[in-house]
Amino acid sequence: MWLGYLVLATRALGAHRTRSLLTISSIMIGAFTIVFMMSLAEGGLETLVRGIEEIGGARLVLVTPKEPERAAAKKDSYPKGITRADRAQILAALPHVAGHTAYASLGKRDIVADTGETARADLVAADAHFLDAYRMDLARGRPFSDEEDLAHAGVCVVGPALKKSLWSGEAVGRKLTVGGFRCRVIGEIAPAARFGVSFGFDWQNLLVVPAEAMAAVEPATRTSLAFLVKTDDPRSNDVVKRIVNAILESRHHHIDDFTIFDFSGIMGQFRAIFLIMQVVVGFIAAIALVVGGVGIMNMMLVSVSERVREIGIRKALGASPGDIGAQFLCEALLLSALGGALGVGLGAVAAMGASALLRGAVETWAGGVSTGAAAVALCVSVGIGALFGFFPARRASRLVVVEALRR
């Protein structure tokens, strides 16, 4: 039965090709927008999340120093900042630790090479675990050790962009100066693209020096050190936070001069924000679909008024009101389904094209076609056709045979 309705609907729409194509295009635009925009949003989220997950993601707990809000007058009663002794006591008490590091991001600095070349890069004063904690591989050379850090050794590791700015060949073995600190390069960091992920420094354009050695030149380095802990499971973060908070409060005389960031909660908030963005994008695109639905209803009402005599003849030959209504509803569904399918197809092609272009600029781009968005766009398109096609179909089914034949 429905196959017969589909054949009749195809013939009726084919008789008014231009009008049908214009109506289909309005649905197509809405479906295209949903698939294209939501695919890009989903790709952006996946790219950012993948970059954070590479270094631990939800398993990260970051402790940073801050100005105290209460009992500030007591802050001189103990060594300020998160000291080496603080970290040692925390690590001795902490379970579930998979990695850790202490570092201070000291901002952009002017760096002078032994060749006289100058460059500007992010200066990071860190302990020997920094590269491992942030999963920075070395292209050449080696990282500095705990012994070199404690001995205030004049050694350093350079990022790929800084190395390229200062030397045409290998950087290992060369020397450079930053402020009052002079060091010998012992390692070159391999390029690692982490789009949109920042922990206070540029992944490519940075200079990593031993924290103790830098503190001898700039004493404020010690009070700027942040402490990063990587747990073995996000479910362990609460335990780690409670222990860290208890130890630091005890050692710092219950002065709140530190902040603890739990990335398991931050990642959840991050995903929630992107979900809201996707909902907003979907809502905007849905407006285009509603406009297309109004176009379908308008076209079907015109079609009913033009085919009153045809409806009267069919009823006179025995067609029931349900048959008439089903035929016109099938026409509306066919319009919306064709528009939705074309929009989904074009949106998928556009999303793949945009992802290919973005991958050329950002090699870690994880974008593609959102199958969820495609399914939603197609279902909503058909639903719009059924919703806005119901009233014209109902009007056609209620026409009286005698009055219809008189027209």
Higher local confidence (pLDDT), 369 or 326: 369
Residue 294 has pLDDT above 90, yes or no: no
Q: Which residue's entry shows tokens 């635009």?
A: 29
Cα atoms in the Cβ-side hemisphere of radius 13 Å centred on 54: 18
Show the tokens assigned to 298. 């308008």
Q: Rounded to whole angstroms, how far apart are CA atoms 239 and 235? A: 8
Of the listed ranges 158-172, 210-224, 287-301, 391-405, the one predicted with least confidence:
391-405
Tokens standing for residue 5: 């309705």
pLDDT band, very low/low/confident/very high, at 244 (cuts 50, 70, 90): very high
Terminal-to-terminal C-alpha distance of the chain: 28
Residue 313 has pLDDT above 70, yes or no: no
Q: What is the mean pLDDT of residues 198-212?
A: 89
Q: What pLDDT does residue 125 have?
A: 94
Q: How confident is the model at residue 28 (pLDDT cuts 50, 70, 90)?
A: confident
Mean pLDDT of 230-254: 89
- The pLDDT score that the predictor gives to residue 264 is 83
Which of residues 352 and 7 earns the better pLDDT score?
A: 352
Half-sphere exposure of 97 (CA within 13 A, CB side): 19
Cβ density class 228-243: b for 16+ within 10 Å, e for less: bbbbeebebbeebbeb
Residue 202 to residues 97, 120, 297, 307, 339, Cα–Cα distance (Å): 26, 11, 55, 69, 46
Q: Is residue 397 pLDDT above 80, yes or no?
A: no
In angstroms, the CA 40 to CA 352 distance is: 9
Lowest-confidence region among 35-39, 108-112, 305-309: 305-309
Which range, of 136-145, 311-320, 342-351, averages the lowest pLDDT? 311-320
Please, which pLDDT band fits residue 169 given cuts at 50, 70 and 90?
A: confident
Q: Closest Cα to residue 62, out of 45, 89, 82?
A: 82
CA distance 259 to 226: 10
What is the per-residue pLDDT across 89-121, written as a single tens digit (0 to 9) for each? 999 998 888 889 999 999 999 999 988 899 999
Least confident residue range of 123-132, 154-163, 307-316, 336-345 = 307-316
